[in-house]
A and B are shown apart, each in its own frame.
Chain A
Amino acid sequence: DTEVTQTPKHLVMGMTNKKSLKCEQHMGHRAMYWYKQKAKKPPELMFVYSYEKLSINESVPSRFSPECPNSSLLNLHLHALQPEDSALYLCASSQGHPQGRQPQHFGDGTRLSIL
Chain B
Amino acid sequence: ELKVEQNPLFLSMQEGKNYTIYCNYSTTSDRLYWYRQDPGKSLESLFVLLSNGAVKQEGRLMASLDTKARLSTLHITAAVHDLSATYFCAPWGLETSGSRLTFGEGTQLTVNP
Enumerate chain A interface residues (CB-CB to B < 8 A): 2, 40-45, 48, 55-59, 90, 92, 97-109
Q: Is B12 an interface residue (CB 8 A)?
A: no
Contact residues in B for A106 (Cβ distance below 8 Å): 35, 42-44
Q: Decide yes or no whether B50 CB sits under 8 A from chain A.
A: yes
The smallest beta-carbon distance between A108 and chain B, in angstroms, is 5
Question: From residue 24 to 57 of chain B, which have CB atoms closer than 8 A to chain A?
Answer: 31, 33, 35, 41-45, 48, 50
Name B99's contact: one of A44, A98, A108 (CB within 8 Å): A98
Give which listed residue, B45, B100, B105, contacts A42 with CB less than 8 A: B105
With A92-B43, A102-B48, A103-B48 given, name 20 new contacts (CB 8 A). Answer: A42-B88, A42-B103, A44-B103, A48-B98, A48-B100, A56-B97, A56-B100, A58-B97, A100-B31, A100-B92, A100-B99, A100-B101, A101-B31, A101-B48, A101-B50, A103-B33, A103-B45, A106-B44, A108-B41, A108-B42
| B45 CB contacts on chain A under 8 angstroms | 103-105
Q: Which residue of chain A lies nearest to B91 when distances are taken between CB atoms in the complex?
A: A100
Interface of B is mostly: strand
B44 proximity list for chain A (CB < 8 A) = 106
Which range contains the number of B residues in contact with the other chain?
Answer: 20 to 34
Q: Which residues of B contact A59 (CB under 8 A)?
A: 97
In the complex, what residues of B have CB within 8 A of residue A44's CB?
103
A45→B42 contact, CB < 8 A: no
Once the chains bind, are B42 and A42 in contact (CB under 8 Å)? no
Which residues of chain A have C-beta atoms less than 8 A from B50's C-beta? 101
**Can you name 20 A-B pairs with beta carbons within 8 Å?**
A2-B42, A41-B105, A42-B105, A42-B106, A43-B88, A43-B103, A45-B100, A45-B101, A55-B98, A56-B100, A57-B97, A59-B97, A90-B42, A98-B99, A101-B48, A102-B48, A103-B48, A104-B101, A106-B35, A109-B42
* Given A42-B104, A42-B105, A100-B92, A56:B98 Cβ within 8 A: yes
